[in-house]
Amino acid sequence: MISINLLPEAYRKPKATSAQQFHRSPLAGIVVGVLLVAVGLLWGLVSFHEARVSSLQGRVQALQPQKTEADGLRTSLDQLRQQERVFDQLARGRVSWARHLNLLSDATPDGVWYADLLVDDSKGLVLQGAAIGQGGEEMVRIGRLVQDLKADTSLSKTLTDIQIESIKRKQDGEIELVEFTLKAGLAATD
């Protein structure tokens, strides 16, 4: 088809390009419809995943007390396994602890007693005890105890680097106590 426009150039309406005319075509409605459907699908998918994440977070929160309990059980199990190794060593006779405890008892001066004894592979031997405060004499007793333990050749085969880890004074009613902690490394046994 041929079209002839006899109007002068200044009076002519500018022709719209195909891109400018696109919004009037049915293809524009289809493209907009497809885009709206795609946006709706994406929004629905994101909403579904957000709801699922929220549901999973709720389940995680509900399981948190059980996880805490399981972690506590795991810690207890590790401690029991460590104690089992120590008892296995004792049962195999690698260390004669009965003899060592007797030597410890013999080296303990009057007025000094033990409140706790811990044997741990990582910490070694930890002894907690106390002495009755008698004007500085209790410090001499604790120091003498450490010296006697270091001097015992039988103990030095099993215990290394015996030292005072902490000392503190405590008033218990009218009696002054000096609480102490002794620490010693465990010698390697074959």
Sign, CA dihedral 105-106-108-113, equals: positive
Q: Tell me the range of 12-16, 68-72, 166-170 where mean pLDDT is highest.
A: 68-72
C-alpha distances (whole Å) from 13 to each of 7, 21, 25, 39, 156 are 10, 14, 20, 38, 111
CB 104 within 8 A of CB 150: no
Q: Give the distance, in angstroms, between the CA of residue 132 and the centroid of all CA atoms in the same chain.
A: 39
Q: Give the distance, in angstroms, between the CA of residue 75 and the centroid of all CA atoms in the same chain.
A: 10
| pLDDT per position as a tens digit, 90-101 | 666 555 677 778
Q: For 93-132, give one letter per residue: b (16+ CB within 10 A) or e.
A: eebebeebeebbeebbeeebeeeeeebeeeebbebbbbbb
The predicted structure's pLDDT at residue 190:
47
The pTM of this model reads 0.49
75 pLDDT band, cuts 50/70/90, is very high
d(CA 41, CA 51): 15
| pLDDT per position as a tens digit, 43-74 | 999 999 999 999 999 999 999 999 999 999 99
| pLDDT per position as a tens digit, 130-144 | 988 877 788 888 888
User: To 10 degrees, what angle do helices 97-107 and 137-151 make?
Assistant: 140
